[in-house]
Amino acid sequence: MTAPHPKQTPRPTQNSPFHARLYKLGVNRAIDIPAQISKSFGGGGYIPVQGWIEGIPITSTLIPKGQGRHRLFVHSRVWNRLKIDKGDFVEVLLTHGEPPKEPPIPEDLALALQMTKGAAEAFRQVTSALRREFINWIQNAKQPETRAHRIRKGLPVLIARARKRMQRQAQSERTRDASNRKPR
């Protein structure tokens, strides 16, 4: 793939195709979403999207990377199928996706969330993907003892993850507020 000529690329908005360079982040591949497209999706936070990368349909989530910008992780089935890797440019088209469905909270987990200080609030604060993963992890336990153990051991981790997420969001808001202040 070749880089688009700057004059050929229209000002991007939601539902407008754009070109982005694939890069490696750990073992993952990702692209940065242009600022104007992030803004057209409503700015900060995790945003469910649907769309296409080089014509291959995707359903994913835009991940905040600070200052109102987002990144999109590209699944290996996409970049392997396209035979591309870091440094290659791809054409991307994104639209708002459906928010993921929340699974029902099992009774034993609901009780533990009520009985553990800060757990219910933490459960609300983490991403829907983490809530789904947590519930699936608990429900996949074969023995009742294993299930109870997972709830007992998992809730402190969930609380810590929520606290960390709230700290990142607060830092992001402080950074955004500081950049919006005009010098006198």
Of the pLDDT bands very low, low, confident and very high (cuts 50, 70, 90), residue 112 is very high
Rounded (10°) CA dihedral 118, 65, 95, 21: -150
What local confidence, expressed as pLDDT, does residue 110 receive? Answer: 96
Predicted confidence band at 182 (pLDDT cuts at 50, 70, 90)? low
From the number of C-beta atoms within 10 Å of its C-beta (0-12, 13-18, 19+), residue 106 rates as middle
Spatial CB neighbours of 165, under 8 Å, sequence gap ≥ 6: 125, 126, 127
Tens-place pLDDT, residues 22-81: 999 999 999 999 988 988 888 678 889 999 999 999 989 899 988 888 999 999 999 999
Residue 11 has pLDDT above 60, yes or no: no
Please report the domains of the chain, with CATH numbers, ordered by start residue: 6-96 (2.40.30.100), 107-180 (no CATH)
Q: Nearest CA to 158 among 181, 144, 180, 137?
A: 137
List the beta bridge partners of residue 58.
51
Residue percentage of the chain with pLDDT more than 70? 87
